[in-house]
Structure formats: C-alpha cells, structure tokens
Amino acid sequence: MFADKYLITVCLLAFVLGSLATTPNMNNICALLPEKSKISAASCDSYYLCIGDVAQLQKCSGSQHFNKDTQQCLPADQVNCFDGTAEDPCNGRAVGTWAPVSDSCTDFYYCGANGAQRSSCPNGNHFHDGNQKCVHANQHPCTTVGTNNPDEPPVVSVNLCNYIQNSIYFGSPASCNFWNKCVNNVMTSGTCPTGFDYNVKISKCDFPTEFVCSQLTHDPLLTGAVGSGGSCSKKGIRKSAVACAGYYQCDGSVYQYYLCTKGQFYDTITQTCVSRQSARNNCDRCSGSKSQFVNQYSTTGCSGYLVCKNGVQQSKGNCSKGMFFNEDMGACVNQNPEFGCCYPKPAGNH
C-alpha cells in the first residue's frame, strides 16, 4: 500500500477520456439544465447563458468574475476562479482529485478546495494520472507525467461540476430517468422512480412525454463524466461503451474510458476504432452525424435506417422490399451500399 498514505482514492473521480479536447459542447451541457441557467466558461470573466438549449457566451462587466454557484458576476477577489489560459494544474479537475506535474514523473498536485498542493510519490514511484495514484515505475514508464505508456491511448479528465452550479439537480446525457447533482464540485447520480423520467425544464422527475428527455445527447465527453466501466482484472482487455465513439479498456483494476479519433466508431468485432460506416456496433449511430437519416446497425442487411435530430436517434424505419438505405445519399436505393455497420461479412473483409 505504498501510495495509500499519500493518495486516498475517492469514490467519484473525474472520468478519463481518450480525447485531446477537454471542453465539452456547451449546448449539450445546456440541454441538461433549465432555461436561463448559467454555466462557467474557460475565461473567468465570462459565462454561458442557456437559451433554448443554446449556450450563448456572455461577459461580466469591468473586472468582475463569474461565480457559477451564485450565478452572478462578482468582484474578482470574491470568486475562486482560474482563467482557462492560466497555468493552474487543477483547472478542469474536481476538488478531491489529483493532477500531474508536467516536468516530473514522481510529483503530483492534490486539488483541494483552496487550490493545488504539490507532493511526491514515495520510493521513486511514478504518478499515474489515469489511475489517480502512485504506481511502481515499471508499471508506468514516462519521460514526463503527461506522457502515457505508448501502448495505451492518451487520457485527460473532465468534470461536469466544473461548469454546473453546485447543489442543483440536472439531467443525464445518457439516460432519460437519471439525475445528477454536484456537491463540492463532485458529482452524485440517482434515478427517478419506475415509470418516470427526469424533466430538465422543471428539475423534477415527471411523467414521460415527447418533451421530457430532451437532454439525451450521448455526448461522449459528458457520458464519460457520469458513467463507470466497473472493475476488471486483465489489463488491456476492451469492451464497448454506450457512445459509439467510446470504449472501455482495463488498466488492471478498473475499466477506463477512451474515445476514438474524431469521425471514428468503436468496432466490437475487431475491438479497434474504424471508420464510422464500417463499425459493427449496436449503438445510436445518429451520434456524431448531422444527417437526418443514417443506416441502422444490422447483422442481416442495409435496409433499415434511423431518423436523427441533433445527432440523437428519434425513430427507426425500413426501405421497401428489395431496396437498401444509403446514408451518403440519404435515400432508399436499388444497390446495396455494403457498409460494414449493416452488411454482414467476416472480420477484416470490409
């Protein structure tokens, strides 16, 4: 237990994502909140106002800074905020988690309520940002702590509570009946009673209607922040996630979440990231697409399609007998497009 006296693992860690982008789509955050909510921006003197699920950038007057918890612009000395351009190691991380030191393999910062506090791993051990703990040096070779094992995808952390007001309830981007709440910038989650969905407009569980569950975007950055891959024991094994572009990889104790390169989906057969149309993955294929119609996942043929709105599945449909759907053309056609997502072929043949 060489690291335990230095690092006590908290239950709710910011979930790690294999993406270079650490800033989520602000419109998708607004979708989780009631109308006219305000969310933090990268710059201390700015914030986003949610109007019709659209995040509109606003600026505080004078030298004031935005306080997400009071939802007000206040004198800068009354707001604990780090500008997105400042060199704050805990920027974008939850209180109670740890951050790497860019020029050291052994040092780390504890992200406390009063700011970053630097410390070191004992006995020459290395700090592993993905695992949020000190590990033996041979378990995490590095030249700087920001460089992960070359055999593993890069990871960064994300936390919705850095943007959303503490102590209020808000929706889940991955489940209609889940709700979330931030307490001291650490997120907790729960579910509505059976038969109810969470209504972000009134911040309560409500009877399902076509307007309830409008927050369901499956944004990988956001679903990564609220999900968990569970425990595991065999390092390197993978499994699919809810998001088409995401997957879980075992680090030897828990499944960590990663994202494919932009435009790619996770293929459950080869367990690699491939082109969007080639991915054999029974997920919401509307995700990441601006099209109104996309091919439906199938193991029998390409006749089915999904109806999409804002990158989220709304319904399903099928072409008439003998016809095939081609999402590139947005129509039912005579020729089978033979996309890997819907045209069954052995692995490696498409």
- The pLDDT tens digits for 309-345 are 767 788 899 999 999 999 999 999 999 999 999 987 6
Chain segment 223-281, per-residue pLDDT in tens:
653 345 677 889 999 988 777 888 888 888 877 777 787 778 999 999 999 999 999 99
Burial class of residue 304 in the structure, from the number of CB atoms within 10 Å of its CB (0-12 exposed, 13-18 middle, 19+ buried): middle
Q: pLDDT at position 144, please?
A: 43
pLDDT at 210: 66
Nearest to 40 by CA among 20, 26, 22, 19: 26
Instruction: Give the N- to C-terminal CA distance of the chain in Å, as an integer.
Output: 48
Closest CA to 244 of 196, 200, 301, 283: 283
Enumerate residue ranges in the chain where pLDDT < 50.
1-22, 83-86, 143-157, 225-227, 347-350
Return the domain boundaries, the chain.
1-227
Place of tokens 């695992």: 131
**Neighbour order of strands in the sheet with 46-51:** 38-40, 46-51, 54-59
Are 238 and 333 in contact, with CB atoms under 8 Å apart?
A: no
Cα angle 130-133-135, degrees, rounded to a multiple of 5 = 95
DSSP-derived 3-state class of residue 194: coil
Closest CA to 341 of 248, 262, 244: 244
pTM for the complete prediction? Answer: 0.51
Which pLDDT does position 319 carry in this prediction?
A: 96
